A and B are shown apart, each in its own frame.
Chain A
Amino acid sequence: MTVPIVWYLILSAALFCIGVCGFLIKRNIITIFMSIELMLNAVNLSFVTFANHWHQVSGQIFVFFVMVVAAAEAAVGLAIIIALFRSRNTLNVDRIDLMKL
């Protein structure tokens, strides 16, 4: 039995949208960051799906590079969050509003 490609794509879209939702709604900065990682993974799934469909390897190459970049980004982002926590002593984004009007 074959699995229709479209199902993979819809799953990818759903994961992406849930990621966006989390990005907008959550208040804890680490949770927001995790939603971003979820979005990246959704896109990775989409790439692999297309690589399978077109029988090309370049989709997977792209996923490889996305993974590398996501790793680097996670490292630096978490370092920033630590620095932020040290100065503001809170992880709630609504309280980090020094630039408020």
Chain B
Amino acid sequence: MTPSLHLWLLPLLPLAGFVINGIVGRRLPKAFVSTVALLFPAAAFAQVLWIVAQVHQGVALPYLESFATPWIAVSGFHANFSFLLDQLTLVMLLVVTGVGLLIHIYSVGYMAAEDGYWRFFSYMNLFLFFMLTLVLSANFLLMFVGWEGVGLVSYLLIGFYYSKDSAANAGKKAFIVNRIGDFGFLLAMFLIIAHFGTLSFRQVFADISAHPELHGGFLTAIALLLLLGATGKSAQIPLYVWLPDAMEGPTPVSALIHAATMVTAGVYMLARAHVLFGRSPLALTIIAVIGAATAFFAATIGILQTDIKRVLAYSTISQLGYMFLACGVTAYSMGIFHLVTHAFFKALLFLAAGSVIHALGGEQDMRNMGGLRKKLPVTFWTMTAAVLAISGLFPFAGFFSKDAILAASFAAPNGKALWAVGLVTAGLTSFYMFRLWYMTFFRTARYDEATTGHGGHGSHGVHEGPWSMLVPLIILGVLSLCGGWIGWPAALGGNDWIAHFLDPIFAGATNVLPAAAPTAAAVQLARILAGVSMAVALFGWWLADLMYRRKPQLADDAAQNAKALYTLIWNKYWVDQIYGAVIVGPVLAFSRNVLGRGIETGIIDGANTAMTVTASGASSVIRRMQSGNIRSYAGWLAAGAAAVLVVVLYLAHSF
């Protein structure tokens, strides 16, 4: 008898935190709000750990749990509030609750001086509720609820400083662009209902597996529509434009939502629906191409950005491109592995950047930073760990996951071109991350020491934040160092634990899973590929060191010599402007002229006016009956009576 794991409790715990903080948090002291805000995510994390222990003791996976009352029960379609727990879910749960809890702890220190403290934490707890619903759901419909919900909370949190125009606009942009992706998801769900009659994962995938002849055709359509949803949520080409603007939100928001969890929902969905994607080689190719192209594209933009958070935003887009690439070459477990390591080091990068911003009193432009190495030691060392991890340097976390993806794309059929693009992107990644590192922490300070200082309590110099901010940094730093060891590839002497752990889910889908006992040639190839990636990363580091520490004027010279290319990249390829002119402009014009003037004022107001004119016109005619003249009244009276008489006679057939 399988003991109940009480999965339903997991999303409801943060929801309770949202409700409590949302309703009474405004009037209660900060200590209360913080306690509530930390208590419920911690409880959720504790439950996840308990679930891990239960699974270790023998609870069989996959584990399904649903509420007895059906959600939608009409003839031809049923949907339940059902939760699914398998290895993939377990990995995602640990990432969401673990990293989420760390970021909540960090936010207690970071947001201490802000208005709307209670509002921030209630939204953060709400986000956890929706994200956990998304991850735990056992059907597309409940996943869509979580999908939309995280989009909503993202809008609320990006626009947290609602009095700032730029923040409000960024929130709107994020929501609208996400909506376009959600539209694709919705259409995909309709197609799935039409063809399979259900939205439950188990039934749909079992149905597909039972019919090996199903191939391409409508499955490709469903896959491409799901992909549209994923590109919206995970900020890939063409729907990535919202993520850089989303940096208007507070830094913990960027860390939690736009690095570690929400943007990975798209990758999670691709991995969850891998059975479906496996039947459409066209969709898989498109995913891989989009992933590689986005990774490269975003990396090129990142090398010239000057706002520290924007660099990290483009870096996120680029790393998500890697995960898409992995899914595209059916190396799903590698994609999930990179998702996990990326959560660690990207969250750490954002939190450390937040620490720098907090210490400098809100300064985000890297050109005004510098020389912070001695002033912020904890931040410096943890950020170093993250930078080494993201650049893919052995033995940090990013090396193993990125290398696994590159090896998988190399081994995939027709994947060599993708491998080459991924390799160049790795070099660019290393370059811009070390550029960030040098500009922030090295060289001479370019900020004014006397007037800079965090919070409102003025200029007593630049110093570290409180312990609530530093402890999560340290924990994530450690994870960035050793988090990758769960995926030490067999070819290089490890046991590739994560791939084997996720095997029950992805076996049969992936054709690039390294075999348990690799051949000598495979080991050789793996070593060569690993060596090449390391070399490229180190080259990026060397180049950044040259251009941004030792000889800074090289950077300016390069900008001068390649003026056209520089301008193109500096303006982010003018993508926002192109979208504005091609899509937003015509839509607004259509909306104002056709819908606004034509339909609203013409048809609807016109119908209104027509009705009133008719009524008043008819009444001015009929009004003549009430002339005030007694004899005309008498006349009408007699006429009416005569009419009645005639009718009665007619009815009595007396004619």
Direct contact of A and B (CB under 8 A): yes
Where the two chains meet, the residues of A that have a C-beta atom closer than 8 Å to any C-beta of B are 20, 23-24, 27, 32, 93-94, 96-101
Residues on A with beta carbons closer than 8 Å to the beta carbon of B624:
101
Residues on B with beta carbons closer than 8 Å to the beta carbon of A94:
629-631
Taken residue by residue from 614 to 655, chain B's Cβ proximity to chain A (1 for < 8 Å, 0 otherwise) reads as 000000000110111111001100100000000000000000
B638 to A20, Cβ gap below 8 A? yes
B627 to A24, Cβ gap below 8 A? no
Q: How far is the CA of A100 from the CA of B631 in the complex (A)?
A: 12
Residues on A with beta carbons closer than 8 Å to the beta carbon of B635:
24
A93 to B638, Cβ gap below 8 A? no
Q: How far is the CA of A94 from the CA of B634 in the complex (A)?
A: 12
A24 to B638, Cβ gap below 8 A? yes
A101 to B623, Cβ gap below 8 A? yes
Q: A24-B634, A94-B631, A101-B628 are in contact. List 11 more A-B contacts (CB 8 A).
A: A20-B638, A27-B631, A32-B634, A93-B630, A93-B631, A94-B629, A97-B628, A97-B629, A98-B628, A99-B626, A99-B628
9 pairs, CB–CB < 8 Å, chain A vs chain B: A24-B631, A24-B635, A24-B638, A32-B634, A97-B629, A97-B630, A98-B628, A99-B628, A100-B628
B638 to A23, Cβ gap below 8 A? yes
Cβ 8 A contact of B627, one of A20, A23, A96, A100? A100
Residues on B with beta carbons closer than 8 Å to the beta carbon of A24:
631, 634-635, 638
Where the two chains meet, the residues of B that have a C-beta atom closer than 8 Å to any C-beta of A are 623-624, 626-631, 634-635, 638
Q: How far is the CA of A96 from the CA of B627 in the complex (A)?
A: 12
Q: How far is the CA of A27 from the CA of B631 in the complex (A)?
A: 8
B630 to A96, Cβ gap below 8 A? yes
Residues on A with beta carbons closer than 8 Å to the beta carbon of B628:
97-101
Interface centre among B623, B630, B635, B638 (most CB of A within 10 A): B630
Residues on B with beta carbons closer than 8 Å to the beta carbon of A93:
629-631
Residues on B with beta carbons closer than 8 Å to the beta carbon of A97:
628-630
Residue of A nearest to B631 (CB): A93
Residues on A with beta carbons closer than 8 Å to the beta carbon of B626:
99, 101
Residue of A nearest to B637 (CB): A23
Residues on A with beta carbons closer than 8 Å to the beta carbon of B629:
93-94, 97, 100
Q: How far is the CA of A60 from the CA of B637 in the complex (A)?
A: 28
Residue of B nearest to A99 (CB): B628
Whole-angstrom distance from the CB of A42 to the nearest CB of chain B?
14
Q: How far is the CA of A100 from the CA of B627 in the complex (A)?
A: 5
Cβ 8 A contact of A101, one of B627, B631, B638? B627
Interface centre among B624, B627, B634, B638 (most CB of A within 10 A): B634
Whole-angstrom distance from the CB of B79 to the nearest CB of chain A?
66
Q: How far is the CA of A23 from the CA of B637 in the complex (A)?
A: 10
Q: How far is the CA of A20 from the CA of B631 in the complex (A)?
A: 12
Whole-angstrom distance from the CB of B568 to the nearest CB of chain A?
77
Residues on B with beta carbons closer than 8 Å to the beta carbon of A27:
631
Residues on A with beta carbons closer than 8 Å to the beta carbon of B630:
93-94, 96-97
Whole-angstrom distance from the CB of A30 to the nearest CB of chain B?
13
Whole-angstrom distance from the CB of B628 to the nearest CB of chain A?
3
Whole-angstrom distance from the CB of B655 to the nearest CB of chain A?
16
Residues on B with beta carbons closer than 8 Å to the beta carbon of A32:
634
Q: How far is the CA of A23 from the CA of B629 in the complex (A)?
A: 14
Q: How far is the CA of A41 from the CA of B583 in the complex (A)?
A: 86
Whole-angstrom distance from the CB of A36 to the nearest CB of chain B?
10
Whole-angstrom distance from the CB of B648 to the nearest CB of chain A?
15
Residue of B nearest to A32 (CB): B634
Whole-angstrom distance from the CB of A7 to the nearest CB of chain B?
19
Q: How far is the CA of A31 from the CA of B338 in the complex (A)?
A: 108
Residue of B nearest to A35 (CB): B634
Residues on A with beta carbons closer than 8 Å to the beta carbon of B623:
101
Residues on A with beta carbons closer than 8 Å to the beta carbon of B631:
24, 27, 93-94
The 6 closest A-B pairs by CB, nearest first: A100-B628, A99-B628, A93-B630, A97-B628, A24-B634, A20-B638
Q: How far is the CA of A32 from the CA of B634 in the complex (A)?
A: 10
Residue of A nearest to B630 (CB): A93
Whole-angstrom distance from the CB of B635 to the nearest CB of chain A?
6
Whole-angstrom distance from the CB of A16 to the nearest CB of chain B?
11
Q: How far is the CA of A79 from the CA of B638 in the complex (A)?
A: 24
Whole-angstrom distance from the CB of B545 to the nearest CB of chain A?
96
Whole-angstrom distance from the CB of B188 to the nearest CB of chain A?
68
Whole-angstrom distance from the CB of B530 to the nearest CB of chain A?
100
Whole-angstrom distance from the CB of B620 to the nearest CB of chain A?
10
Q: How far is the CA of A96 from the CA of B630 in the complex (A)?
A: 8
Q: How far is the CA of A62 from the CA of B629 in the complex (A)?
A: 34
Q: How far is the CA of A54 from the CA of B516 in the complex (A)?
A: 119
Q: How far is the CA of A27 from the CA of B629 in the complex (A)?
A: 11
Q: How far is the CA of A98 from the CA of B623 in the complex (A)?
A: 16
Q: How far is the CA of A93 from the CA of B633 in the complex (A)?
A: 11
Residues on A with beta carbons closer than 8 Å to the beta carbon of B627:
100-101
Residues on B with beta carbons closer than 8 Å to the beta carbon of A96:
630
Q: How far is the CA of A100 from the CA of B626 in the complex (A)?
A: 8
